[in-house]
Amino acid sequence: MVTNPVQIPEQQIPEQQISDQRLLKGARARATIARRAADVASVEGLTGLSLGRLAADLGVSKSGVATLFGTKENLQLAAVQSAREVFIEAVILPALTAPRGMPRLRALIENWFVYIGAPVLPGGCFRSQCVSEFDSRPGPVRDALAADRADWFAVLEKEIRRAQEQGALSGLDPHALAFQLDAIMTAANSAARMGDSSGLPTARAIVTALVGAAG
């Protein structure tokens, strides 16, 4: 249960504290709008985002959204960042409790399957959706998506290398295996979104053949 915070009349708060509270309120509003932008973009793509549409969805003024983000491109960048945080929280952080190497790689993959099968964002895997959408459009949004993709590959490759140090997955190129896993999971996400119910079990069989059964 969250209790309502005690309301303090503004004139009793020192100036620095008012400024901090305003910053905090702005940061919260920014995070709420960015998350909503990620939800919308996961279904309709980053191209479909607009400051006015998000303001209407959230029942706030368009000028308020414009003050926080300025341009559509800034809003797109905030959506990428917000979706990245959702993925880290759902897929990466819970896997860090598994021992390094093969167990953690399998935990990452298992969390990833759960993430695709019961997506946190309504349109499924944001990276799958938006990398394809922006891959031919150079600029800050594509750069942010490419950096996020590179970070995710680095996470996978690190655990693959550790698994190899433990004697598993021998003879495989870590980058090629990460590429293959990402390709299969992206295709599984798309198949699942399109209503092809064979997509997830097919992907699971392929991934199990690549890295063994999870668990």
The interaxial angle of helices 72-87 and 126-134, nearest 10 deg, is 140
d(CA 82, CA 156): 21
Q: What is the CA radius of gyration of the chain?
A: 20
Pick between residue 106 and residue 193 the one whose CB is nearest to a second copy. 193
d(CA 45, CA 39): 9
Pick between residue 18 and residue 43 the one whose CB is nearest to a second copy. 43
Report the amino acid identity of residue 190: S
Pick between residue 111 and residue 186 the one whose CB is nearest to a second copy. 186
Least distance from C-beta 45 to a second copy, angstroms? 5
Pick between residue 68 and residue 84 the one whose CB is nearest to a second copy. 84
d(CA 111, CA 76): 26
Least distance from C-beta 106 to a second copy, angstroms? 20
Alpha-carbon distances of 20 from 5, 17, 169, 206, rounded to whole Å: 16, 5, 51, 51
Binding footprint of a second copy on the chain (CB under 8 A): 42-45, 47-48, 122-124, 128-129, 131-133, 135-138, 142, 145-146, 149, 173, 175-176, 179-180, 182-184, 186-191, 193-196, 198-199, 202-203, 205-206
Least distance from C-beta 30 to a second copy, angstroms? 25
**CB of 47 closer than 8 Å to CB of 139:** no
Least distance from C-beta 7 to a second copy, angstroms? 42
Please list, in sequence order, all residues whose beta carbon lies within 8 angstroms of the beta carbon of residue 184, skipping any fewer than 6 positions away.
203, 206, 207, 210
Three-state DSSP class for residue 69: helix
Least distance from C-beta 60 to a second copy, angstroms? 24
d(CA 158, CA 163): 9
**CB of 135 closer than 8 Å to CB of 142:** yes
Least distance from C-beta 78 to a second copy, angstroms? 19
Pick between residue 101 and residue 119 the one whose CB is nearest to a second copy. 119
